[in-house]
């Protein structure tokens, strides 16, 4: 049998096919990237998009390289620590045969495994880009929490990312340990069939150190979890209450000490025979975690706090009240004594300005009423309602304001042209003074004089609209026709952009329709 090298023509064709396949499989991701870039650029904030992308790349590279290098070093150690000779048992002969076959490609095998696992664990880390940007641009607040005296900026900017790093590192270390154990097994360092020495001393040291690293990471995780108690929702209010401070916190501190003790036990056992002590230590660790971490706080909450909530929780509720006042800027309110006198009806009428603006309409109850009264048709609706202030008849008043947004679910005809070319926008603003109601409790609607009522962008709008096409858009009430007149949005002015938008939305009418120039 003879083997010939493939010709240059075959190599070229194979390369072209490979490139085409890669582009096909990555087309959706590439189009999404391009469309998002076009959108951010259309609102003049492409710098934000590039900043997010840069943070994602930084995280992916750092965590991928870090994991791959760490795993590669451990696999190299597993190879270097392999015994040179093994007994002539069938299992050991299979190990020697495997080592002989893979000897020339051992380095490539380590590198391939390290890169694969590094990519598997490192690429998802890019999803933490927001926490990373906040951590990198951290700032201090002017106040600390009452329990740990830590600056509030620590909770906002540093704690979320620190917790992610510790959790990720622990998961990565567990996987690296398991893969290292697998390499030790195929190298003959772990021999379950040997009743005298199932694990070589060198492999035992390696595995013990890795497990000890895991217990240290658990200690770090317990340490960070202490700060989560400041946002505990165990009791009647949010924050660290009696059980959190007097039961959960001591239990967490105990778990930190137990983690350190198990770490020392693992390292000390390196020079001992067997794994009995580490197994007992880990078992004790699990028992303490269940009893001290879960059972004990639950018992304290049930039998100490619940029968005496008013006395046990009082100082901690006071903390919550003080923190709320500080957050709302109410901690420095100046109190002034006012001398009241008898007030007559004429006095009230002479100074009724504050009473005329008392809110009579509840914004939380008026959204459905606005939609029923002013929705006009089934394909318009109110998604949100806000309170603003406008000058009406020379007086500033509170006004309930809502946008009459497009409701795609209510469209009479759900063809592609109807959904994306005809019904492209909402129509107008609905407004009513918050201090005025009709005799039957309805809002008294007013006209704010909006000259261009079309609403092309909104919080509740999904999908996309194509404007400035050969298809006329649905006009708002009172108008014969309308057309998008602004300069915002993504311009579909090239074939590449049409293809990118079509692939991104999975809708090739964008590319094939004659209505879209």
388 and 248 housed in the same domain: no
Last residue of a domain, one of 306, 336, 367: 306
Structure confidence by residue, pLDDT tens digits, 202-243: 888 899 999 999 999 999 999 999 999 999 888 888 889 999
Angle ∠(356,361,367) on CA atoms, nearest 5: 150
278 and 373 housed in the same domain: no
Structure confidence by residue, pLDDT tens digits, 409-467: 888 888 889 888 988 888 888 899 988 888 888 898 888 778 888 888 877 677 888 89
409 and 497 housed in the same domain: no
**Kind plus residue range of the DSSP H or E element containing 381:** strand 380-381
- Alpha-helical runs (H) found in 188-247: 201-227, 242-243
407 and 422 housed in the same domain: yes
- Rounded CA-CA distance 106/359 in Å is 77
Average pLDDT over residues 119-144: 95
Angle ∠(170,175,181) on CA atoms, nearest 5: 125
211 and 280 housed in the same domain: yes
SS3 429: strand
Q: Is the residue at 313 inside a domain?
A: no
Q: Is the pLDDT of residue 1 over 50?
A: no
40 and 52 housed in the same domain: no
**Residue percentage of the chain with pLDDT more than 70:** 91
Answer for the pair 399, 434: CB distance below 8 angstroms, yes or no: yes
Residue 30, domain extent? 15-44+488-517
Last residue of a domain, one of 306, 327, 344: 306
Structure confidence by residue, pLDDT tens digits, 179-192: 999 888 877 777 76
- Rounded CA-CA distance 268/377 in Å is 77
Q: Is the residue at 397 inside a domain?
A: yes
Structure confidence by residue, pLDDT tens digits, 15-69: 787 777 776 777 888 888 899 999 999 989 999 999 999 999 999 999 999 999 9
Q: Is the residue at 330 inside a domain?
A: no
Q: Is the residue at 255 inside a domain?
A: yes
- Rounded CA-CA distance 131/409 in Å is 36
Q: Is the residue at 8 inside a domain?
A: no
Give the rounded distance of the alpha carbon of 493 from its chain centre.
35
Nearest Cα neighbor of 128 from 163, 175, 101 is 163
Structure tokens at 334: 């100046």
Angle ∠(126,504,496) on CA atoms, nearest 5: 110
Q: Is the residue at 440 inside a domain?
A: yes
> What pLDDT band is residue 336 in, cutting at 50, 70 and 90?
confident
482 and 494 housed in the same domain: no
Q: Is the residue at 329 inside a domain?
A: no
39 and 153 housed in the same domain: no
Q: Is the pLDDT of residue 92 over 60?
A: no
281 and 180 housed in the same domain: yes
SS3 505: helix
Average pLDDT over residues 146-169: 96
Residue 271 class from Cβ within 10 Å (0-12 exposed, 13-18 middle, 19+ buried)?
exposed
55 and 190 housed in the same domain: yes
- Rounded CA-CA distance 8/16 in Å is 12
147 and 29 housed in the same domain: no
Q: Is the residue at 324 inside a domain?
A: no
- Rounded CA-CA distance 331/324 in Å is 9
259 and 179 housed in the same domain: yes
SS3 143: coil
Structural domain total, the chain? 3
Nearest Cα neighbor of 216 from 264, 278, 158 is 264
Residue 418, CB-side half-sphere exposure with 13 Å CA sphere = 10
């Amino acid at each position: 049998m003879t083997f010939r090298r493939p010709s240059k023509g075959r190599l070229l064709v194979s390369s072209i096919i490979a490139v085409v396949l890669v582009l096909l499989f990555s087309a959706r991701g590439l189009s999404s990237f391009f469309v998002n870039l076009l959108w951010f650029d259309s609102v003049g904030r492409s710098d934000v998009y590039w900043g997010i992308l840069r943070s994602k790349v930084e995280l992916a590279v750092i965590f991928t390289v870090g994991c791959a290098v760490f795993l590669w070093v451990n696999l190299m150690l597993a190879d270097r620590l392999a015994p040179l000779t093994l007994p002539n048992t069938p299992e050991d002969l299979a190990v020697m045969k495997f080592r002989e076959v893979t000897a020339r490609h051992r380095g490539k095998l380590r590198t391939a495994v390290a890169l694969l696992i590094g990519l598997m664990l490192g690429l998802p880390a890019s999803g933490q880009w927001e926490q990373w940007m906040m951590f990198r641009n951290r700032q201090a607040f002017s106040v600390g929490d009452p329990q740990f005296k830590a600056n509030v900026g620590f909770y906002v900017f540093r704690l979320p990312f620190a917790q992610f790093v510790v959790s990720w590192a622990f998961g990565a270390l567990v996987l690296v340990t398991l893969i290292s154990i697998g390499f030790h097994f195929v190298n003959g360092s772990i021999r379950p069939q040997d009743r005298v020495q199932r694990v070589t001393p060198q492999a035992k040291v390696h595995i013990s150190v890795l497990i000890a690293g895991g217990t240290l990471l658990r200690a770090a995780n317990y340490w960070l979890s202490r700060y989560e108690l400041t946002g505990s929702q165990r009791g009647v209010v949010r924050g660290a209450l009696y059980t959190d401070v007097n039961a959960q916190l001591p239990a967490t501190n105990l778990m930190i000490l137990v983690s350190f003790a198990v770490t020392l036990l693992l390292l000390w056992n390196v020079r001992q025979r067997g794994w009995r002590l580490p197994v007992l230590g880990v078992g004790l660790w699990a028992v303490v975690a269940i009893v001290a971490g879960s059972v004990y706080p639950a018992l304290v909450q049930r039998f100490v706090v619940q029968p005496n909530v008013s006395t046990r929780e009082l100082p901690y509720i006071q903390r919550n009240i003080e923190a709320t006042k500080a957050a709302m800027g109410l901690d420095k309110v100046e109190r002034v004594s006012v001398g009241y006198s008898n007030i007559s009806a004429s006095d009230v009428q002479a100074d009724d300005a504050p009473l005329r603006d008392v809110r009579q309409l509840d914004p939380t109850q008026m959204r459905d009423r606005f939609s029923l009264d002013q929705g006009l048709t089934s394909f318009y609706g109110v998604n949100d309602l806000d309170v603003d202030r406008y000058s009406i008849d020379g007086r500033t008043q509170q006004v309930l304001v809502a946008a009459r947004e497009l409701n795609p679910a209510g469209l009479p005809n759900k063809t592609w042209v109807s959904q994306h070319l005809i019904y492209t926008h909402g129509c107008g603003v609905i407004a009513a003074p918050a201090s005025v109601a009709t005799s039957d409790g309805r809002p008294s609607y007013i006209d704010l004089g909006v000259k261009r009522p079309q609403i092309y962008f909104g919080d509740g709008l999904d999908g996309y609209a194509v404007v400035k096409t050969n298809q006329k858009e649905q006009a708002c009430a009172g108008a014969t026709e309308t057309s998008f007149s602004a300069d915002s949005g993504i311009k579909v002015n090239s074939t590449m952009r049409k293809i990118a938008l079509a692939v991104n939305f999975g809708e090739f009418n964008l590319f094939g329709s004659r209505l879209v120039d």
